Amino acid sequence: MANFKRSLPVFLLAPFIGMLIGCAETDTEVFFASVPTHDNENFAYTDIHQLSLTLSGVTKEIDETGFNPILKCKLHLENTRHGPWPQAWVAFNISVLASNSEVSSLKRAGVLQGHAMDIEFQIDLPKFGIKSSDIAISIQPVAWMPSFPLNIIDNETAQ
């Protein structure tokens, strides 16, 4: 019994030390380059946490053979920074403008593979006679996060 009383404070001390380590304040400069001190300021992220996508390879094809015209569009997004994560999950809004008025707004999300992503979509146009040169594509980012490959092994087939 004497040995038990001596070791009891060690058991109480270990969880307390664990809680202190878990509650330790982390350095915000790892994620943010600057943290706002006033309401009108914004967070500035460090370079490693920024993603810059370029839009290229836009092809617009209008099919007017049916009852209503259909726009078939393909585009290519690429991360120009080529940061440490070759895969990233991104979410964004695509606005399709025809003659300076918004025809459609699409919400998309997907994974950049090797810092790039190809996107295809088709939408109905409001009227006939719209030329592909009259159509503009605009992309607004929503969010992104690094993505890592996932492998699922079936336990029965592994044995």
Question: Tens of pLDDT along 39-54?
Answer: 666 656 555 566 778 8
User: What are the extents of the domains in the chain?
Assistant: 2-44, 51-146
Task: Dump the DSSP string for 10-74.
Answer: HHHHHHHHHHHHHTSPPPGGGTEEE--SSTT---EE-GGG---EEEEEEEEEEE-SSSS-EEEEE
Q: Using a pLDDT cut of 90, give the percent of the chain over it.
A: 32
Is the CATH number of domain 51-146 3.40.720.10?
no
Q: Using a pLDDT cut of 70, give the percent of the chain over it.
A: 65
Question: Tens of pLDDT along 115-134?
Answer: 899 999 999 998 999 999 99
pTM for this prediction: 0.63
